[in-house]
A = this chain, B = another copy of it.
Amino acid sequence: MLEDKNPIRTPLSELGEFKLIEHLTEHLKITQKSTILGVGDDAAVLNYENKNAVVSTDLLVEGVHFDLSYMPLKHLGYKAIVVNLSDIYAMNAMPSQVTVSIAVSNRFPVEALEELYQGINKAAELYGIDVVGGDTTSSTSGLIISVTALGAVEKHKEVRRSGAKANDLLVITGDIGGAYMGLQVLEREKEVFKVNPNNQPDLSMYSYIIERQLKPEARKDIVKLLEALGVRPTSMIDISDGLSSEVLHLCKQSGVGVDLYEDKIPLDPQVISTCEEFNIDSTTIALNGGEDYELLMTVSQEDYPKIKGNPNLTVIGYMTEKEKGKHLVTRAEERIPIIAKGWNALNNLT
């Protein structure tokens, strides 16, 4: 998985900045009614009618957020879009446009950027958004991707981090910990590869968790599901830095406490078995792993009948008065204070 399979290498300088942008964006299609003018002018023009606009931005840096030795460029492009869309869904909004800026060193040929854009375009297509702008420039070292996602939400319908109330249910979508354990497997295989480059590992038993790491999906379906169920969460956040970190954000910004039940945290069997293989506690991974891009929300108790039994939504605790603090209730019924140990990009400073 780590070899360079691409024999054609066109130097970036051969095209120049304008031609490169033109080349990379020539296949972009405008599919959204809200896109009045896309790539190719000083700015894009968008029309959100009588809705509010929603905007979020992220910066992905090689060597900090991704490792190209096991992250295919196509997947990286896809992931760069998806992680930004996740922030828009977390507002209970629907994304409709992104801008994508890329800085690259000359070790990347044009073909590498084409591959990156294939992933970007694939995500745009699947999530129904338009790429409406961006910038391509050189970097003195690695690859840097900056994505800004834009979307719309009906007035007063956005769901913030600050609306949780005591007694609200704490609800999570999907399962968590997979992306982090996928990363552990990939890191291990990278070390094996360094020793024996001819080794072709069988990673099929880790397929789910590796996909969670390399090609995560954002929960577009949840925004639609909540609408269909008639449930408006009181607060919501996406899980990018780990469950404990996100729970603490909701608590802090809403001024509430929480009781989170260890035995309720949804884990995929592959996460559990891989945690056993690596001899790591799966709850620690679920709390601190990050990059799962599931949604964490609080829901009023009276909405419980509407979400009960839904396979996409798991109640993992409830919010309390602020004074009661923020606790994990363990399987042994111990109450342990929740501390954010989520992945922190600034701790990786070189």
Chain A residues near B (Cβ < 8 Å)? 12-13, 15-18, 20, 36-37, 40-48, 50, 52-59, 61-65, 87-88, 90-91, 93, 97, 99, 101-103, 105-106, 132-142, 144, 146, 148-151, 153, 155, 158, 160-162, 236-238, 245, 253, 340, 344-350
Rounded to whole Å, the gap between the CB of A129 and the closest CB of chain B is 13
Q: Given A13-B347, A43-B90, A146-B146, do A97 and B55 touch, yes or no (CB 8 Å)?
A: yes
> Copies of this chain, how many?
2
Counting from the closest, the 5 A-B pairs by CB-CB distance are A43-B56, A146-B146, A42-B90, A106-B349, A59-B101
Q: How far is the CA of A43 from the CA of B238 in the complex (A)?
A: 11
Q: Are A43 and B55 in contact (CB under 8 A)?
A: yes
**Quick one: which of B56, B133, B137 contacts A42, CB cutoff 8 A?**
B56
With A91-B42, A106-B349 known as contacts, the answer to whether A141 contacts B144 (CB < 8 A) is: no
CB-based contact A64/B148 at 8 Å: no
Contact check, B146 vs A59: say whether CB atoms are below 8 A apart: yes
Q: Are B55 and A150 in touch, CB under 8 angstroms?
A: yes
Contact, CB under 8 Å: B347 / A16: yes
A245–B18 CA distance with the chains assembled, in angstroms: 10
Q: CB distance B348 to A138 under 8 Å?
A: yes
A-B contact pairs, 9 of them (CB 8 A): A13-B349, A15-B346, A53-B53, A56-B133, A57-B146, A59-B102, A64-B103, A136-B346, A138-B350
Contacts of A18 in B (CB 8 A): 245, 340, 344
Contact check: which of B44, B46, B61 meets A137 at CB < 8 Å?
A: B61
Distance between A165 CB and nearest chain B CB, rounded to angstroms: 17
Least distance between A288 CB and chain B CB atoms (Å): 14
